[in-house]
Amino acid sequence: APAAVVETDPQAIALGYKANTAKVDKAKFPKHAADQHCGNCQLFQGAATAATAPCAIFGGKLVANKGWCSAWVKKA
Ligand code: SF4
């Protein structure tokens, strides 16, 4: 299985990734909204109900359904 994205990875820090969307730094990412999370992001490569799935932005590493990063795009 692919490795999981860790919040301390340099890319995760750069994109503000948190495994829990509620923990996102609101001051740094003012456009973040509470209803945004990996599970409803266009780049989450799994079922909307999957606990984790690969993310295209992170080179296929696993991100948490409840996670978030600043590259979030609403799933079409
Ligand atoms: Fe989550 Fe989307 Fe960011 Fe990937 S791009 S980490 S799925 S919010």
Q: What is the ipTM of this complex?
A: 0.99
Ligand 1 centroid to residue 55 C-alpha, Å: 6
Q: How far is CA 33 from the centre of its chain?
A: 13
* Strands (E) located in 18-75: 52-54, 62-64
Indicate which residue's Cα is closest to atom 4 of ligand 1. 55
The pocket around ligand 1, CB under 6 angstroms, is made up of 17, 38, 41, 43-44, 55, 57, 63, 67-69, 71-72
Query: Is the model's pLDDT at 1 over the cut of 90?
Result: no
Domains contained in the chain, number:
1
Rounded Cα–Cα distance for residues 15 and 51 (Å): 20
Q: Give residue 41's domain range.
A: 1-76
| Token pair in block for residue 36 | 């945004």
pLDDT tens digits, one per residue of 41-74: 999 999 999 999 999 999 999 999 999 999 999 9
CATH number of the domain that 15 lies in? 4.10.490.10
The pLDDT score that the predictor gives to residue 16 is 96
pLDDT tens digits, one per residue of 6-43: 999 999 999 999 999 999 999 999 999 999 999 999 99
